[in-house]
Structure 1
Amino acid sequence: MTEDKLARIRKLLAQAEDPAATTAESEAFNAKAAELMARHGVDAALLAAVDPGREVVGDLTVELLAPYAVEKGSLGAAVARGLRCSAVLRTTRRGSGSDYSLHLFGATTDLVLSEMLLTSLMVQGTGELTRRGVPRGEHPAAYRRTWWLGFAAAIGQRLQEAEATAAHESETRFAAAGTSAALVLADRAALADRAAAEAYPSLRTAAARYLSGGGGADGLAAGQRADLGRTPGVTRPARRRLG
Structure 2
Amino acid sequence: MCLYGRLPRIPALDVPPASGGVGGTGAVAPKMLARVRALLAKAESTGFPEEAEALSAKAQHLMARHSIDAALLAARGGVPGDGPGARRIGVDRPYEGAKALLLDAVAAANRCQAVWSAEHGFCTVVGHAPDLDAVELLYTSLLVQADRALHTGRTNRSRDFRESFLIAYASRIRERLTAATAAEESADPAPDLLLPALASRALAVEDTTRRLFPATTTSRLRARDAEGWQHGESAADRATLHERTNRRR
Identify the structure with bigger relative contact order (alpha carbons < 8 Å, sequence gap 6+). 1
Structure 1 runs of 4+ off > 4 angstroms? none
Structure 2 unmatched runs, 5+: 1-21, 23-28, 244-248
Q: Cα distance, 1:101 vs. partner?
A: 0.9
The answer on whether the counterparts of 2:100 and 2:123 sit within 8 Å (CA) in structure 1 is yes
The answer on whether the counterparts of 2:223 and 2:229 sit within 8 Å (CA) in structure 1 is no
Aligned counterpart in structure 2 of residue 118 of structure 1, from 107, 121, 139: 139
**What does residue 25 of structure 1 align with?**
51
The answer on whether the counterparts of 1:58 and 1:106 sit within 8 Å (CA) in structure 2 is yes
Give the whole-Å Cα distance in 1 for the aligned partners of 2:66 and 2:149: 28
State the aligned residue count.
Answer: 214
Give the whole-Å Cα distance in 2 for the aligned partners of 1:47 and 1:216: 42
Q: What percent of counterpart residues are identical?
A: 32
SS in 2 for 1:59: strand
Q: Cα distance, 1:119 vs. partner?
A: 1.3
**Aligned ranges 1:52-201 → 2 under 5 Å:** 53-92=80-119, 99-133=120-154, 140-172=158-190, 174-175=191-192, 179=193, 181-201=194-214
TM-score by length of 1: 0.79
| 1:50 to 2:76 alignment | yes
Tell me the alpha carbon deviations over residues 166-222 of structure 1, each in whole angstroms, 9 at most, x when there is no partner: 2122242x54xxx3x33222222221121111011111222x332211222221221
Q: Cα distance, 1:134 vs. partner?
A: 6.0
Structure 1 unmatched runs, 5+: 93-98, 230-242
SS in 2 for 1:131: coil
TM-score by length of 2: 0.77
**What does residue 221 of structure 1 align with?**
234
The alpha-carbon distance between structure 1 residues 133 and 40, as it changes in their structure 2 partners (threshold 3 A), is farther
The alpha-carbon distance between structure 1 residues 33 and 132, as it changes in their structure 2 partners (threshold 3 A), is farther
**What does residue 236 of structure 1 align with?**
none
